[in-house]
Copies of this chain bind each other. A is one copy, B any other.
C-alpha cells in the first residue's frame, strides 16, 4: 500500500527540472566518457560479434610467396616469346613437382619448366605459369603453342594483403569477413573490448516471472526479459537479477550488490510514483555524482532517470514496456555501445506518409511507433496506436516517426522520415487492415507456411474500410451492422471494393459459471433477470461495435449499472465478467469458451472481408481466397467455434 498516490509526491515532482532529450543525453555522456575500455584477448573462433580493441597491422604478406593460380607448369615467359599455333616450343621438365606446401628446390633455367599445382610456390627463375590444358606431352618434356605474358596465372606475394598495412581498426565489429582476413595473416588471438556486464533488475510488487502462475492483479515481468535481450543485441552481457518488490532495504541491498559486480545497472518497473521514489532515494546513496537527469521531455519516456554512481551508469527505465524499450534504444544504447567499444549505431531511414492526423504533445519530443505498408504512392506509416502501456506498440512496429517538441500534430498525408528498428523494410506480401478475429489466424496459417509474409493491423472495421479505399491494404475485415437494412457489411461497401464472405460468430449472453441468477434461462430472460436485480452489474461494448447495437436492443432503452463500462473487444468483456468487475455481458462463443464462462446464444454476427478489387489478382490475395475456401481451413474455423459462410 506504500506506493499508492500521495499528495506530497506530486508537489515534490514540481521541483524536478525536466531536461530536453539532447541535454539529458549530453550530461549523461559527459559524466561517463572518456573512459578506458577494458581489453581481453580472445581466440579468433570466440571473437565473433566482439569489437576490436586495437588496430591490427598485417604481420605477413598474403599470399606469403608468389603463388600459382592454376594447375600447370612454371615457366620463363621469354622462353615462349616465339610460341604460337604454328610454332611449338619444347621445354624440358625439371625433376620436381610443386604441390601445395612443397618448397621448390630447383630453379627454372632457360628452356625448362616445373610442374606446379594451384597454390604452389613459384620456383626461382620462373615468371609465369602455363595451364596444363595448353600443353602437350613431348617425350620427357612438354610442347607449348601459346606465348605467355610475364606474371600470367600467378599471384605475387603481398598482392592480397601487404605486410605492414593496417588490416582492421579499433572499433571494428568482428564478423566472418574480418575473421577471414585475420586468419589469412595467421592472427590467432585478438584484442577485443570486453562486453560490459549489465545487471538488469525489475521492481514492482505486482511482477511475476514468466512460467509462474499469474495471481489476481499480478502481471508478468516483460521489461526484465526484453531489456536483457536488447542488452545482448547491443554489445552488452546481460545478467538478469529477477524482479524485486518495492521494499527499500531489500532493494538497496540488491542494487548495491548489482553495482559492485557489474559495469552498468538498469532498473525497470516502478510505474507508480511511490515505487519510483524508493529507487531514486537509493540511487542518491549509491555513489557520486548520482542522478544526472530525472524526467526527460520525451514521449514516450518522460519518467526516465539517468544516474552515474562511482563512474558506472545507473538507469531507471519507465515502467510501461514501450516507453522502456524506446528510451532504452534512444538514450541507453548509445552509451552501451560506446562502453562496448562499438561505433555508433547507424539508423536506416525511409520516407513515408502518415494516413491520418497524428496528435502530439506540445513541448515534448514525441516518437510515434509506426507500421509500414505499401500505398499507391509509396510507403504509408500507420501509428501502431495502442499507446506506451502496450508491448505490441513497440514490438509490432517497423520503426518510429519523430515529432518535434514545437509541433502539436502531424497533418494527414504529411511526409515523414521513418527510423527503422531493423535495417530493412520488409514490405509484406499480403496486408489486412481492419477488425481482428482469432478466426483470421486459421486462414492465414497456411499462407505463412507457404512462405508468404502477412501483415495484419487492427484498426477496427471503419478504419479498415478507409485504408482499403486509400489502397493501403488488400483486404479489410469488417463486421458492421446496418440498422436501416438490418444487414451486415454489404451496405458499407465503397466503390472499387467487393465483399468476400467470411464466417459467422455466435454472439451470446455470458455469465460466470454457477451464477444461479442466470442458469437455465434464455438470453432475453437472463437480461430481464439482470435488469431487475439492483446488485447486478453489466459490461457494455464500445459505440460502433456490432455487439453494442445488439446490447442496446436487448436493453430496450434502459441504462443499467455498468452501461458506461464500454471496452472495445470481446476478450475484455469476458475478462470483466470472469474477474467479477461485471456480472454479465455479450461476447462471442469462442471467447466465452476460452474464458470458461457460461454462454447463452443470441444471434450470429457476420465477419466478412472488403476486398480491394484492383488487388484481386495478386498471388497473395488468390492464396488467401483459396485458403479461406479450403476444407481444412473451414474445418479449423468450425473447431474454433466459427461458422464459415
Contacts and interface: CB of A to CB of B under 8 A. Distances in A.
What is the copy number of this chain in the assembly? 2
B177 A99 contact: no
Contacts of A387: 69, 155
Given A5-B117, A214-B60, A575-B65, A386 B160 contact: yes
A166 interface: yes
Interface residues of A, number: 166
B272 A159 contact: no
B319 A159 contact: no
Interface string A66-103: 11010110001110000000000000000001111111
Given A210-B187, A220-B186, A221-B183, A124 B566 contact: no
Contact of A98 (B4, B104, B150, B566): B4
Contacts of A209: 188
Nearest to A303: B118
Contacts of A619: none
A183 B394 CA distance: 14
A1 interface: yes
A565 interface: yes
A183 B226 contact: yes
Given A441-B165, A568-B156, A576-B66, A188 B210 contact: yes
A132 interface: yes
Nearest to A180: B226
Interface string A377-390: 00000000011011
A57 B582 CA distance: 27
Contact of A214 (B186, B189, B594): B186
A37 interface: no
A226 B179 contact: yes
Given A181-B395, A217-B102, A571 B61 contact: yes
A102 B217 CA distance: 6
B160 A390 contact: yes
A572 interface: yes
Contacts of A230: 176
Contact of A392 (B118, B161, B444): B161
A99 B2 CA distance: 8
Contact of A189 (B211, B221, B445, B567): B211
A579 interface: yes
Contact of A127 (B4, B45, B124, B565): B565
B218 A183 contact: no
A101 B184 contact: no
Contact of A228 (B45, B177, B207, B228): B45
B348 A423 contact: yes
Contacts of A7: 132, 137
A151 interface: yes
A218 B186 CA distance: 11
A243 to B, nearest CB: 11
Contacts of A55: 445
Contacts of A63: 219, 389
A117 to B, nearest CB: 4
B564 A78 contact: yes
A4 B98 CA distance: 7
Given A160-B386, A537-B125, A44 B3 contact: no
A343 interface: yes
A486 interface: no
Contact of A211 (B156, B188, B240): B188
A470 interface: no
Contacts of A123: 581
Contacts of A214: 60, 64, 186
A232 interface: yes
Given A157-B579, A160-B389, 14 more contacts: A4-B117, A45-B228, A55-B445, A64-B219, A65-B581, A99-B274, A100-B205, A103-B216, A119-B206, A169-B445, A177-B395, A179-B226, A184-B220, A188-B212
15 contacts: A5-B132, A61-B572, A62-B391, A66-B572, A69-B387, A104-B217, A121-B579, A122-B581, A157-B567, A162-B569, A164-B438, A164-B591, A165-B438, A178-B395, A182-B210
- In the A-B complex, the 7 residue pairs with the closest CB atoms: A188-B211, A101-B206, A158-B571, A157-B575, A180-B226, A423-B423, A176-B229
